[in-house]
Amino acid sequence: MLTKKIQEFLSKDQFETPFLVVDLDIVAKNYQKLVDQLPGVDVFYAVKANPAIPVLELLRDFDSNFDTASIQEIELCLKLGVSPECLSFGHTVKKERDILRAFNLGVKTFAFDSLPELEKIARAAPSTNVFCRFLTPNDGADWPLTDKFGCSPDIAADLLCQAVGLGLNPLGVSFHIGSQQKKPSNWSIALEKARRIFDVTSERGVNLSFLNLGGGFPSQYRVPSCNIEQHTEEIKKGMKKLFDDKVIRAVIEPGRFIVGDAGIIQSEVVLVSQKKYSDHKRWVYLDIGKFGGLPEVLNEAIQYEIKTPYDNEKVGPVVIAGPTCDEVDILYDHSGYQLPLKLSIGDKIEILSAGAYSASYSSVGFNGFPPLKEYYI
């Protein structure tokens, strides 16, 4: 969102585009809102969403825990004074030497979704806590996470029982209903699957006590999404129905919701052109594209709201493209974007709700373009 702080920052007009600017007050507000909405549920911020030091320091001071995807993210958090007890190595595909390194640094909680991964953890991090990620429907998500990670619930139950024989402590389960989820009812489906795993393992003498609800809480983009309260109410309803008789630790792994709408990207129009006399759709080229910090426009999945200096003027259909020489560097062609007819070379535009999965995805120099610049205010 274009907060007062961000508007004042942009008014100085002294920074070369493209760049990301994040209002840390909004990060704090979003974190606190989620905590207030889900009392008793621990937050593990998904570092991958935005690993900027100012963001991590702010959340550290709020006593957040952290979901990490790599040894590098673990080392970054530890360098900032985060206790290893507050870290979860949440990636289900890890090099064994990275598991060992994390273990030696004091990390004691690891995710898995297969027997080979479980065996790696047993060898490199003996006697530690493990939780299994299972598959659950992601329909309704703008950015589904259904194929690459997780296993079927029956496999999850078997693996958690096998963990005991490998000398590990099977804590519980995790799932992810899909990033930018617009269908809150998916929480109930996932929770029912989780409860079934708890029951099956209990029948085999393995009592689970950990429920990782993952992420999926949405930011607000071009098409309004359901609000956070709809998600948290569905979670609370499902937890009360299915886990009220259990003493468990429930956690969430928000990323996008915490930092997404706290940041905007300012970009410059590099070119406005017409491909054919018969085509009324203009091409608008920006100085940022898929490789510079907007990879989530892949398949036009995440549709950012775009502000221009002429938002009250007459508009027309456009194709929006990035600056690189790669043909796939087209942001939007089929989603019905329209921009003001007055928009021209050199104009500045703002891409809203861009605080998550932007700078952390930016390439280090494709076509010679530098990584996306970042400012935290």
The predicted-structure confidence for 288-319, as pLDDT tens digits, reads as follows 999 999 999 999 999 999 999 999 999 999 99
Domain boundaries, the chain: 25-260, 261-376
Instruction: Look at residue 29 in the predicted model and tell me its pLDDT.
Output: 98
Whether 167 and 129 have beta carbons less than 8 Å apart is answered as: no
pLDDT-derived band at 144 (thresholds 50, 70, 90) equals low
Which carries the bigger pLDDT value, residue 187 or residue 144? 187
pLDDT-derived band at 14 (thresholds 50, 70, 90) equals confident
Which carries the bigger pLDDT value, residue 138 or residue 365? 365
- In whole angstroms, give the CA distance from residue 356 to residue 221: 12
Pairing label, strands 373-376, 330-332: unpaired
The overall average pLDDT reported for the chain is 95
* pLDDT digits 0-9 by tens, 106-132: 999 999 999 999 999 999 999 999 999
Helix (H, G, I), strand (E, B) or coil at 74: helix
- In whole angstroms, give the CA distance from residue 130 to residue 124: 13
Q: Which CATH architecture has domain 261-376?
A: Beta Barrel (2.40)
pLDDT-derived band at 163 (thresholds 50, 70, 90) equals very high
Pairing label, strands 19-22, 169-174: unpaired
Whether 152 and 192 have beta carbons less than 8 Å apart is answered as: no
**Which range has the worst mean pLDDT, 6-10, 85-89, 229-233?**
229-233
User: How many residues does this entry show for the chain?
Assistant: 377
- In whole angstroms, give the CA distance from residue 170 to residue 194: 14
Query: Quick one: what percent of the chain has pLDDT higher than 90?
Result: 85
Instruction: Look at residue 31 in the predicted model and tell me its pLDDT.
Output: 98
pLDDT-derived band at 98 (thresholds 50, 70, 90) equals very high
Q: Exposure pattern of 52-66 as b/e (b: 16+ CB <10 Å)?
A: beebbebbbeeebbb
Helix (H, G, I), strand (E, B) or coil at 319: strand
Residue whose pair of structure tokens reads 């410059």 in the numeric block = 268
Q: What is the CA radius of gyration of the chain?
A: 22
- In whole angstroms, give the CA distance from residue 288 to residue 266: 9
* pLDDT digits 0-9 by tens, 166-212: 999 999 999 998 778 667 888 889 999 999 999 999 999 999 999 99
pLDDT-derived band at 17 (thresholds 50, 70, 90) equals very high
Residue of 132, 151, 226, 325 with catalytic role:
325
* pLDDT digits 0-9 by tens, 220-266: 899 888 889 999 999 999 999 999 888 899 999 999 999 999 999 99
- In whole angstroms, give the CA distance from residue 272 to residue 340: 11
Look up the pTM and report it: 0.95
Torsions phi, psi for 272 (to 5 deg): -125, 120
pLDDT-derived band at 364 (thresholds 50, 70, 90) equals confident
Instruction: Look at residue 218 in the predicted model and tell me its pLDDT.
Output: 84
Q: What amino acid occupies position 189?
A: I
Whether 293 and 361 have beta carbons less than 8 Å apart is answered as: yes
pLDDT at 20 over 80: yes
Helix (H, G, I), strand (E, B) or coil at 126: coil
Question: For the chain, what is the largest distance between any 2 Cα atoms, rounded to a whole number of angstroms?
Answer: 73
Instruction: Look at residue 153 in the predicted model and tell me its pLDDT.
Output: 96
226 labelled catalytic: no
Query: Considering only the top CATH level, what class is 25-260?
Result: alpha beta
Please determine whether the domains at 25-260 and 261-376 fall in the same fold group of CATH.
no
Question: What is the distance between the terminal CA atoms of the chain, rounded to a whole angstrom?
Answer: 14
Peptide bond into 18 cis (omega under 30): yes
Instruction: Look at residue 247 in the predicted model and tell me its pLDDT.
Output: 84
pLDDT at 147 over 90: no
- In whole angstroms, give the CA distance from residue 90 to residue 29: 25
pLDDT at 143 over 80: no
Query: Quick one: what percent of the chain has pLDDT higher than 70?
Result: 97
pLDDT at 13 over 90: no
pLDDT at 142 over 90: no
